[in-house]
A = this chain, B = another copy of it.
Amino acid sequence: MQETQGKSLMESMLLRAVRPYKSGQCDGGDTVDILIDRGVISRVGRDIVPPRDIPVVDGGGKLVLPGLVEAHTHLGYSFLGLPWFRNNVGSNLQDKINAEKAEIKRRRIDFQLQAERQLAHSLALGSTFLRGHVSIDTDTGLEPLEGVLRAQEKYKELLEVQIVAFPQAGLTSRPGTIALMEEALSMGADVVGGLDPAQSDRDPKGSLDTVFGLAQKYCKPIDIHLHEPGELGGFSTDLIIERTKSLGLQGRVTISHAFCLGDLKPADIARTLDELAQNQISIMTTAPAGRACPSAAQLVRAGVTVCSGSDGVRDSWSPFSTGDMLERAKLVAMRNNFRRDIDVELALRACTFEGAAALGIADYGVEEGCSANLLVVPGETIAEAVINHPVDRIVIKGGHIVARNGSILENTLFG
């Protein structure tokens, strides 16, 4: 087996004896072999005889999942690999923004290095797709983005990274930010971010017109952080729906968090979910245990694409996230009180197939014709793999083994 020789991805290999996960099925399928031809799954079947000279990897009857989708994290500001951050930050938003800026300065954070550490960490746990928000802010300027762009480039063969230009300190309310956002999008940020148009920018119409205007000008999708609660969040959601519809941006807009969908009145939630579904607006939820949030089951029933993410991984905002999207599926299941295997599978779907749909990832899955981005993990059922989220993992990207047991195979990286 040549798993650590050379970094050329898009390789060929035969993965023997694995049980593929398909969306909506709570057991892995029958045990099959998977033939990968230059990074693409070319055959799934029994007793495949491999072409000469390609590596053969024994899956030992384990499950094989498509690469996990980390649909919402922040890049550049994680403290992964650094001493523990003793969190004594106040509870309001401004406290948190100030604390982050102070800590970034105090620790002289190297944005590229921290982004790389986080990408390596996510990949090692099986995420082969990741959407990361990078703060675009008149204080720090474009330095964080520059570092994260370099990390994205360095990892491009290993992990598909989408960078969101995220106006964390305010967009229209903070002079100079719009120009920075334009620069960020010109430099290569992949997605236009937004933030609480009412509570942060104090001007829901102006804020959202700006976000949607940038998306049109630069032909990029949109991903808006919406923490606004109850009826206020419902109003902002309506404004997002109206613009998505009138500008024909169906399938290009994600609302992240959307806490209001957990505490609006039931009839308002039902109407809003229908309109989100009609306009193909995806909802990203981390499924926080400590506050109201959208019901994953309700979203799915309404036909809304629901994806999930870690949010910040070990940063000054919160210490909890490990960046493990299998564990995240467990947290989604726990938050939604999903105890049945069939419901736990729905939670994993948010971290796989639904995430791929939200992020516009093509050729996703464990079927012939799909890209060979795979995670091999033990589990009698999908639920067992999610709930144990074991360290025992093999991560395959482009037909190449890139990580085992939670660690990147270093030779694979940039060797």
Contact = CB atoms under 8 A, between A and B. Distances in A.
A52 interface: no
Nearest to A335: B289
A196 to B, nearest CB: 18
A34 to B, nearest CB: 23
Contacts of A342: 88
A108 interface: no
Interface string A337-360: 101111010000000000000000
Interface string A19-52: 0000000100000000000000000000000000
The range of chain A's interface size is 20 to 34
A334 B88 contact: no
A337 B317 CA distance: 11
Contacts of A287: 289
A384 B84 contact: yes
A145 interface: no
Q: How many copies of this chain are found per oligomer?
A: 2
B89 A340 contact: yes
A415 B371 CA distance: 53
Contact of A339 (B319, B339, B341, B344): B319
A296 B126 CA distance: 34
B341 A320 contact: no
Interface string A315-333: 0011110000000001101
Given A289-B331, A319-B383, A331-B289, A339 B87 contact: yes
